[in-house]
Chains A and B, each alone.
Chain A
Amino acid sequence: MTSYVDRQEKAKFGSDRDAEMRLKNNRLGMTIFQASWIMVFLALIVVNWQLRFSYAQWPPAGVAPFDPLLPSAATLALLLSAVLARRGWQGLRLGNSALFLMSWRLAMALGLVFMAIIALEFAAVSEAALATQYGITMRLMTGFHLAHALAILAVMLRVYRNGARGSYSGDPRDSWPVEGTVKLWYFVTVAWLLFYAVLYWIR
């Protein structure tokens, strides 16, 4: 007798309608996941914001404010990267696999640039800043964001490799990994924009 599980998989995931449904589910699931997980980033913003009240001024006395120049460049790179990722996905949907691959190469390179700059910033927090929450929350936020960016970039790379092998037809129903990764990369971008504003501009 076939096991309960085997029968169940056969019965449940065969038809075309199921493929439609899976796509619909994936899209909604991704939206909800993003809404949910952005809350963690908001929580860290709350942390930054509440800890400001421990100090008479922000940044605390004797601590030089972070220079927004390089991070702004990184932000730009990330934005560009998101746009490219999107362009790649559109290319793939139009059947232009070369455009997809090229855009993603660039997108990933720009993502790396972003991460390198932010990692540099992370490392360069001064001793004086680290003695206060100004530096500590900065490391918390950038570190947390970097971890996400890194993980999602790894996913991108994997999807890119599969794409290079021609695994995705461009039909959204069997190219979900591409679409999903693009959406995750947007997520990284949006989360960063929030952090960027809080860390470098809102005093």
Chain B
Amino acid sequence: MTTIAVPLGAQAEQHEAEVVRRPALSEYLRWSVDHKIIGVQYGVAAFLFFIVGGAMAMGIRLELWTPELDLMASGAAYNSLFTMHGTIMIFLFIIPMWAAFGNFVVPLQLGAKDMAFPWLNAFAFWLIPPAAIVVLLGYFVTPAEAGWTSYPPLSTLFSGDGQTLWALGAHLLGISSIMGSINFIVTILNMRPPQMTIWRMPLLCWAVLATSIIAVMATPFLAGALTLLLLDRVAGTTFFNAAGGGDVLLWQNIFWFYSHPAVYIMVLPGMGVLSEVLSIHCRKPVFGYRMVGLSSMGIAFVGFTVWAHHMFTSLQPELRIPFMITTMIIAVPTGIKMFSWLGTVWGGKMRFTSALLFGLGFMSMFVIGGITGVMLAALPFDIHVHDTYFVVSHFHFVLFGGSVFAIYAALYHWFPKVTGRMMNERLGRIHFAFTYFGFLFTFFPMHIVGMLGMPRRVAVYDPNFTDWNQVISFSAFVLGFSTFIVVYNVIHSYFRGPVAGANPWRALTLEWATTSPPPVTNFAEDPIPFEDPYGYGTEASAAYLDAVDAAFDAEPPATDNS
């Protein structure tokens, strides 16, 4: 393939004419319809919520240092703490964080100028701050204390106004997520330049497509569930009140019909990130590209049929078995991804950048969460460990060990593109070491206390578990500390990091075929992607990469710090 020189030439010419500068910081605080600005807005907001939710987790671990209630005023105060922790982490951190990377990277990877609906994009983002305010306000009224799952009748007949605000906030966030996802689907299906065929699409785009399909089909159920909850709370209906003919299992069915698929909303983009990061930093094509792309769709599809595995102790016994079977099936498409990544890494030339370390960390931790997931799917065993710390451990392994590790990998990987500066790799490795081991020693022992008999969502526990809990809490503080390293690294690198250049990782996907940061319109004209987004190791790819370097490195450093 030799078609590459033309469009790159055009890109380079454009930069000749117009010095690309970083948007001023103040542009990030304003309404903007530019996908790159919106991406950063999402990212920074989500990260702030991560700190807030993480600080709450620190509170949880502090309380659990002793088996007695000592830090909190009451059990209810503890309940509202983990309710907010779960809600913030899921609705205000992970989901918006993937919208951040999706927004910044996907149009660039496709070779598009922007998202399909720029205005809607901005609107979806700007729904988040008011929603967050509503949710957090609830924390200062009579806080919601029914967990992030908000099972009625605890959440309807037995809790205060905070619960209403919680539901309102979650409603807004759900709508924001639907709007964002419609935008992603249309962008990915419609906005590709002619040469970007669907089978040339980078795997992050595949993953975001699958994620968005889940989000548009599942999130409306959350909207339905929350509508009923609000009506029960404020309008006196009895959908969940047995005394009026209602049914508490109704909530569980509708809520989990959304929330199980939602866990894949939270991890699929991470899996997309992993395909990018592993391939680029190991200098090898993604093994089995098509299967990796299609397995995202497989997970999305099967994910809709498993919701009742969260209800193994409440569902009618006859109905439990089918959900056990569908749940286990998910291991197959996920396994395909796992093994394909191993195949990608195997025989490569790994550069141990921080991004790659977090990518490998993902594989090593997520697999544990996946295995415990399959254990939970085994109905008789789940009966024992349902609603214990075993479950808490499972979902932190997939959510932190999976999603958050992937978020860190994505951060180190795309930071140069976003800001034009490199992150500090040495600090990145230190950050990785603290996070990896802090994480492992925080969450692995939770399996054991859970199996031994410690339920979740308790501030007061059997004193026999004190030693384990202190190990967990100590490690959690180490994990919390590790966050400071990355915060420092980001801020420091933003101002002082070495200038990145267009393509510091020598990657083939299109976001690297423009300056860092990219100009307002991304590309001067439709770029022509390299024939294979991950075709490392061929002469053609080397020529392409050299051409990219030549096109942009002649440029003066493309940053001026305003």
Q: Which residues of A contact B (CB under 8 A)?
A: 3-5, 7-9, 11-12, 21, 24-25, 28-29, 32-33, 35-40, 42-44, 46-47, 50-51, 53-55, 60, 131-133, 136-137, 140, 144
Q: How far is the CB of A24 from chain B (nearest CB, A)?
A: 5
Interface centre among B191, B216, B224, B247 (most CB of A within 10 A): B224
* 9 A–B contacts, CB within 8 A, in A order: A4-B34, A4-B37, A5-B32, A5-B34, A29-B183, A40-B224, A46-B224, A54-B242, A140-B231
Question: How far is B246's CA from A60's CA once the two chains are assembled, in angstroms?
Answer: 13
Q: How far is the CB of B55 from chain A (nearest CB, A)?
A: 33
CB-defined contacts of A132 to chain B, threshold 8 Å:
245
- Known contacts A25-B117, A136-B237, A12 near B182 by CB under 8 Å: no
CB-defined contacts of B189 to chain A, threshold 8 Å:
28
Candidates A5, A36, A55, A133; contact of B217 at CB < 8 Å: A36
Contact B231 A21 (CB under 8 A): no
The reply to whether the CB of B221 lies closer than 8 angstroms to some CB of chain A is: yes
Question: How far is B255's CA from A50's CA once the two chains are assembled, in angstroms?
Answer: 14
Contact A25 B245 (CB under 8 A): no
CB-based nearest A residue for B227? A144
Contact A47 B521 (CB under 8 A): no
CB-defined contacts of A35 to chain B, threshold 8 Å:
216-217
CB-defined contacts of A133 to chain B, threshold 8 Å:
238-239, 244-246
CB-based nearest A residue for B189? A28
- Known contacts A47-B228, A54-B245, A39 near B254 by CB under 8 Å: no
| Interface 1/0 per residue, B159-188 and A, CB below 8 Å | 000000000000000000010011101100
CB-defined contacts of B219 to chain A, threshold 8 Å:
36
The reply to whether the CB of B223 lies closer than 8 angstroms to some CB of chain A is: yes
Question: How far is B226's CA from A43's CA once the two chains are assembled, in angstroms?
Answer: 11
The reply to whether the CB of B250 lies closer than 8 angstroms to some CB of chain A is: yes
CB-defined contacts of A33 to chain B, threshold 8 Å:
182, 216
Report the tally of A-B residue pairs with Cβ distances under 8 A. 124
Contact B246 A54 (CB under 8 A): yes
CB-defined contacts of A11 to chain B, threshold 8 Å:
113, 520-521
Given contacts A5-B32, A39-B220, A40-B223, 10 further A-B contacts (CB under 8 A): A5-B34, A8-B34, A28-B116, A29-B183, A32-B216, A35-B216, A36-B219, A43-B257, A44-B224, A136-B244
Q: Sorted from nearest, which 3 A-B pairs have the closest CB atoms?
A: A43-B224, A39-B220, A36-B216
The B interface is mostly helix, strand or loop, or mixed, namely helix
Q: How far is the CB of A14 from chain B (nearest CB, A)?
A: 11
- Known contacts A12-B118, A136-B238, A51 near B33 by CB under 8 Å: no
Contact B185 A50 (CB under 8 A): no
CB-based nearest B residue for A1? B21
The reply to whether the CB of B190 lies closer than 8 angstroms to some CB of chain A is: yes
Contact B250 A47 (CB under 8 A): yes
CB-based nearest B residue for A25? B116
CB-defined contacts of B186 to chain A, threshold 8 Å:
25, 28-29, 32
- Known contacts A12-B113, A29-B117, A29-B186, A37 near B220 by CB under 8 Å: yes
Candidates B33, B225, B246; contact of A43 at CB < 8 Å: B225
- Known contacts A51-B247, A133-B246, A8 near B33 by CB under 8 Å: yes
Q: How far is the CB of A169 from chain B (nearest CB, A)?
A: 23
Interface centre among A29, A33, A54 (most CB of B within 10 A): A29
Question: How far is B40's CA from A4's CA once the two chains are assembled, in angstroms?
Answer: 15
Candidates A25, A43, A140; contact of B190 at CB < 8 Å: A25
CB-defined contacts of B75 to chain A, threshold 8 Å:
none
Question: How far is B190's CA from A43's CA once the two chains are assembled, in angstroms?
Answer: 29
CB-based nearest B residue for A139? B237
Q: How far is the CB of A152 from chain B (nearest CB, A)?
A: 17
Contact B250 A4 (CB under 8 A): no
Contact B237 A140 (CB under 8 A): yes
Q: How far is the CB of A54 from chain B (nearest CB, A)?
A: 5
Question: How far is B161's CA from A151's CA once the two chains are assembled, in angstroms?
Answer: 29
Contact A50 B34 (CB under 8 A): no
The reply to whether the CB of B27 lies closer than 8 angstroms to some CB of chain A is: yes
Contact B27 A5 (CB under 8 A): yes
Question: How far is B522's CA from A12's CA once the two chains are assembled, in angstroms?
Answer: 10
CB-based nearest A residue for B258? A43
Contact A47 B254 (CB under 8 A): yes
CB-defined contacts of A36 to chain B, threshold 8 Å:
178, 181-182, 216-217, 219-220
The reply to whether the CB of B23 lies closer than 8 angstroms to some CB of chain A is: yes
The reply to whether the CB of B142 lies closer than 8 angstroms to some CB of chain A is: no
Question: How far is B245's CA from A131's CA once the two chains are assembled, in angstroms?
Answer: 9
Q: How far is the CB of B152 from chain A (nearest CB, A)?
A: 13
Contact B237 A53 (CB under 8 A): no
Question: How far is B521's CA from A8's CA once the two chains are assembled, in angstroms?
Answer: 6
Q: How far is the CB of B283 from chain A (nearest CB, A)?
A: 35
| Interface 1/0 per residue, B14-52 and A, CB below 8 Å | 000000000110010010111001000000000000000
CB-based nearest A residue for B236? A136
CB-defined contacts of A136 to chain B, threshold 8 Å:
237-239, 244-245
Question: How far is B223's CA from A12's CA once the two chains are assembled, in angstroms?
Answer: 34
Question: How far is B245's CA from A53's CA once the two chains are assembled, in angstroms?
Answer: 9
Q: How far is the CB of A134 from chain B (nearest CB, A)?
A: 8
Contact A29 B221 (CB under 8 A): no
CB-defined contacts of B118 to chain A, threshold 8 Å:
12
The reply to whether the CB of B253 lies closer than 8 angstroms to some CB of chain A is: yes
